[in-house]
Amino acid sequence: MIKLLIVDDSALMRRQLTGLFEAEGDFVIRAARNGAEAVAENREFEPDVVTLDINMPEMDGLTALSVIMVERPVPVVMISSLTEKGALATFEALNLGAVDYVVKPGGTISLSIDAIRATVVSKVRTAARAQLKPARKSARMSGPAAAPPRAETPKKPQEARPRAASPVAGQGIVVVGVSTGGPRTLECILPDLPLGFPWPVLVAQHMPASFTLPFAQRMNSLCALEVVEANAPMTLEAGIIYIAKGGADIKIVERGGRPTVIAAPENPQFLWHPSVELLGRTALEHYPAQKILGVMLTGMGNDGADAFAEIKKRGGRTISESEESAVVFGMPAELINRGGATVTLPAERIARQINSWVPA
């Protein structure tokens, strides 16, 4: 049995979520009305996993999460609104140690629950097995449970950055696939790619459409390289990081004789979107395998495993995140099982490996 704590200030939402998980048959459930109750229930009930709303009275979800991650760390799935403000709060929650998030669609609560039923159950089950990473900061905490605040990662200045030349013969590409646990893992890797990085970097992170632009903007504030959302046809340029637009698939095509990234409608042939598998396949169509570096990071499922294994088979190089650092080892494990990983490394060593294989 999985012990689940549901935290939401809406009585109707608590009832809907409770009924949803009771129907699964293998959950023991308690509910809390606000962050203060969530902290108390985490101590007493000792849940295996928590669903946590962000906007609540008395103690909001982010503050509660900060306390939970210090007092008794437990996998947490945030329940987020489908807005830019909700996206920014969700990224802060992931930085504080949450494993994943579920986006509330618009409309009535009952219709919303029906729309997210499969997603929320899947994500809660995955989170219950996830490997926790320590919180990076505890600035929201106060009182005796608070830990000393940790320094924030300094933001890079926003002045115009020097841009490398457009694609030339012999230039390669880095393709990155990532899902559950991805935002924090990418924050561990992408800021360590230096100015002058000679290849473009394309990232397929499973994420809804309203989240990818705020995420790209957040990464742009942390990285030496320019980070953009690939929301329109863009000629691939060295030293630019392209975040796939959510609600679409990312593809490499040829425009005017030059490799170009586009956001295409979700291809029903693939289960997850933006599709890592489609990104890998189209990279192979437009670059020699020897000029492709595939990086497979945390996430459930097998998205991209076949394409990345093919990259290695044809002479390219691939990196698989190791189990010791992956929040969810599904996607990296699938690549390893196919013999498609050139090396397997913890997240904190991946940027160093990329830089050694793609010297500036």
- Cβ 203 vs Cβ 135: under 8 Å: no
Q: Provide the β-strand partners of residue 28.
A: 3
Beta strand 234-235 pairing with 240-244: unpaired
Reduced to 3 states (helix: H, G, I; strand: E, B; else coil), residue 22 is helix
Pair of tokens at residue 310: 């093919």
C-alpha–C-alpha distance, residues 339 and 355, integer Å: 23
Cα-trace Rg, the chain: 20
- Give which of 99, 290, 131, 313 is closest to 305, Cα–Cα: 313
Q: What is the pTM of this model?
A: 0.86
C-alpha–C-alpha distance, residues 280 and 276, integer Å: 6
- Cβ 55 vs Cβ 61: under 8 Å: yes
Looking at the annotation, which residues are catalytic?
179, 206, 303
| CATH number for the domain formed by residue range(s) 173-357 | 3.40.50.180
pLDDT of the residue at 141: 42
Q: Confidence class of residue 171 from pLDDT cuts 50, 70 and 90?
A: confident
C-alpha–C-alpha distance, residues 100 and 102, integer Å: 7
Q: What are phi and psi of 37, to 5 degrees?
A: -65, -35
Give the helix ranges, DSSP H, for 162-273: 182-189, 209-222
Q: Where in the chain is the domain with CATH 3.40.50.180?
A: 173-357
Is pLDDT at 136 greater than 90 in this prediction? no
- The percent of residues in the chain predicted with pLDDT above 70, rounded, is 86
Q: Confidence class of residue 126 from pLDDT cuts 50, 70 and 90?
A: very high
Q: What is the pLDDT of residues 174-231, one digit of tens each?
A: 999 999 999 999 999 999 999 999 999 999 999 989 899 999 999 999 999 999 999 9
Q: Which CATH number fits domain 2-128: 3.40.50.300, 3.30.2290.10, 3.40.50.2300, 1.10.260.40?
A: 3.40.50.2300
Reduced to 3 states (helix: H, G, I; strand: E, B; else coil), residue 45 is coil
**How many residues does this entry show for the chain?**
360
- Give which of 164, 50, 173, 55 is closest to 101, Cα–Cα: 50
